[in-house]
Amino acid sequence: MNWLLTGAMVAGLLIAPAASPATWTVEAPGGGPAATVRLDEHGSPSVSVSRDGATVLDPSPLGLTTEQADLTTGLSLTGRSSRIVVEKYATTAGKRLKRMSVMKESRFRLTRGDSRLDLVVRAARDGVAYRYELPGAGAVVGEASAFAVPGGSTAWLAGHRRDYENPFIRYADVPAAEYQMPALFRAGRDYLLLAESALDGSYTGPRLVHDQSTYKIALWDARVPYTGGLVTPWRVMITGDLATVTESTLVDDLAPGSRIADPSWVRPGKVLWSWLAGGRPVQQSLERQKEFVDYAAQHGWPYVLVDAGWYDDPVTGERAWTDRTAEFTWIPQLVDYGRARGVGVMTWLRFSDFDSPDERVQRFGLLRQWGVKGVKLDFIDSEAQERLRWYDETLRDLADNRLMVNFHGSTVPKGINRTWPHVMTMEGVHGAEKSSNLTTSHLAALPYTRNQIGSMDYTPMAFQRGSRPTSDAHELALSVLFESGLQNLAGSLDAYRARPEAERFLDQVPAIWDETRLLSGTPAEHTVMARRSGDRWFIGAGVSGAARTLQVPAGFLRGRWLVEVTVDGAGGLVRQAHVVRGGPLAVQVAAEGGFAAIACRWRPGLTTCAR
């Protein structure tokens, strides 16, 4: 489109904004952070965030530029309204299944001539967020949104990649570069997590461009068309002490409600995943896959996942879904074998084989006909508007066929599980598949960064890999530390069998939770996390660096409890039993180590939490 000034735009340029700056405050109901919206003497909007009188975010620019108007300056406030937003909802995965959110919302109607921009700001006890709304049709060509993090803040950041698979690194002095969201900072006594919610095919993906202390939103697409109005994703600022930030569900709270009326067919759980136990040859062998089904059945694990290679053409070697796939695959036989033993089968798929409506209708329908429970879609590698629209359409088609999904080579969760409950997990992480450059400091940053915003398919338990940075007990603890609606466990059968205490713990640990608490931690240094399932608590701990004694707060356990702790011993994993009542529990952990524990209410004669 040519950059021509229409009559409306000329009028807009000639209209003067308010002569003096004006500010408005949006405060969370019942206490918490406050957002201050300011319109300066030039009509340029900004937002800052404070908590208990301390600045968390300095004044940061707002606004959009469209092909029709520059809505970053010359604006006037022509209307303002406020309301309280209260929502109760349930999820199929995450830190807790039952949620309630209470937020104060203020809408600011900003105009420039005939052009209008609504700024919607929400404040909750655990953070603030804003988004933009535009009427009519047009195209966004720029976003002024930026985050002015207070100087001297410590940062935990990952460099931007299209698949979000870079490690998180701690910075005292952040170099100029592009970074991904989520991004974590410590500003004074408070933590600040920058994130996004409700991204879909109506908009485009972001990255953070750092310059000095400002982190500016850069958009994937240079031009983002819209018709029938535009509602952008939420720019989210979660803030508070480290426990408040880590336990927050604000990203989900801001997302649209479920688009599936009856998600009763969505059943999270542990998945026996064989890729790191043998790669493509194991995926191409029905007999080897039956061995994994047998192990899952023996241990009560509900699923196995057959990964890349199962539908490579045995004649031509072509690595794509063809018209012959249904003829030569043995997946239906494996599904029948698993069904007879109470184990569901999931399959890996190439995104490119399901990128048209006809392919999805036919091929997802065939998978459902076979009895496949879910799919792992890989190599998506984009947040362009066109690819985000593919997510929207694919999620609908998967739901129509009652197929759960794990996205790999993907974006990260941005409230997607609330809107589409069959999204069980997503990769978007520098995970266990990496054969090098994995560090325990990266792992100790993930609960506060990537995994904070939603289920994460890190694929733990690769005990057989000598390159992993964790001790056995630390690796076992990842089943609790890392939340994932489908927890794809990556060990070989021999590695599990060589570690009976790991088997014992993994047979009991669930993949969904009623409650999550951060007991202690420092990003990139250590984490102690407790998650409740029913009447039992599961505790995971992992450290980066030297051996030490962890003092584990146990005040959340009311009364007397039996705590079974699995730690590294001289000859392998060992289990210790403790009876605690309120006071801290001291646990000695190895270098790069940790522990995994189960807590159940004590009664006379009780010696184990196992059921």
**Catalytic-labelled residue, pool 163, 196, 200, 378:** 378
3-state helix/strand/coil string of 210-242: EECCEEEEEECCCCEEECCCEECCEEEEEEECH
Contact 448, 408 (CB under 8 A): no
Q: What's the CA gap between 308 and 55, in Å, rounded?
A: 49
Which of 394, 71, 341, 450 has the alpha carbon at shortest distance from 201?
394
Q: What is the mean pLDDT of each run of 10 residues along the chain (611 residues)?
A: 32 43 95 96 98 96 97 97 98 98 98 97 98 98 98 97 97 97 96 98 98 93 98 98 98 98 97 97 97 98 97 90 93 98 98 96 98 98 98 98 98 98 98 91 98 98 96 98 98 98 98 98 98 98 98 94 97 96 94 98 94 89
**Catalytic-labelled residue, pool 126, 252, 433, 564:** 433
Identify whether 105 is a catalytic site residue: no
Identify whether 427 is a catalytic site residue: no
- Joined together, the tokens standing for residue 560 give 């007397």
* Length of the chain counted residue by residue: 611
pLDDT at site 11: 32
* Residues 280/285/288/293 CA torsion (nearest 10 deg): 100
Geometric angle at alpha carbon 104, from 102 and 109, rounded to 5°:
145
- Cα distances (Å, whole numbers) of residue 543 to 352, 456, 459, 594: 39, 19, 19, 6
Q: Which fold has domain 269-510?
A: TIM Barrel (3.20.20)
Which of 473, 490, 493 has the alpha carbon at shortest distance from 481?
473
Contacts by 502-507 with C-beta closer than 8 Å and gap 24+?
502/461, 502/463, 502/472, 502/476, 502/566, 502/573, 503/299, 504/566, 504/575, 504/610, 505/476, 505/479, 505/566, 505/596, 505/598, 506/270, 506/299, 506/461, 506/476, 506/479, 507/299, 507/300, 507/301
pLDDT at site 15: 39
Look at strands 423-426 and 404-407 and give their pairing: parallel
Q: What's the CA gap between 444 and 159, in Å, rounded?
A: 17
pLDDT at site 7: 31
Q: What's the CA gap between 482 and 540, in Å, rounded?
A: 9
Helix (H, G, I), strand (E, B) or coil at 262: coil
Contact 237, 147 (CB under 8 A): yes
The residues near 385 (Cβ < 8 Å, ≥ 6 apart) are 201, 202, 203, 204, 220, 221, 224, 225
pLDDT at site 371: 98
Question: How many beta carbons lie within 10 A of that of residue 502, not counting itself?
Answer: 25
pLDDT at site 583: 85
Architecture of domain 7-151+189-253: Distorted Sandwich (2.70)
Domain boundaries, given as residue ranges, for the chain = 7-151+189-253, 269-510
Q: What's the CA gap between 72 and 44, in Å, rounded?
A: 6
| E strand or H helix that includes residue 142 | strand 138-143
pLDDT at site 315: 85
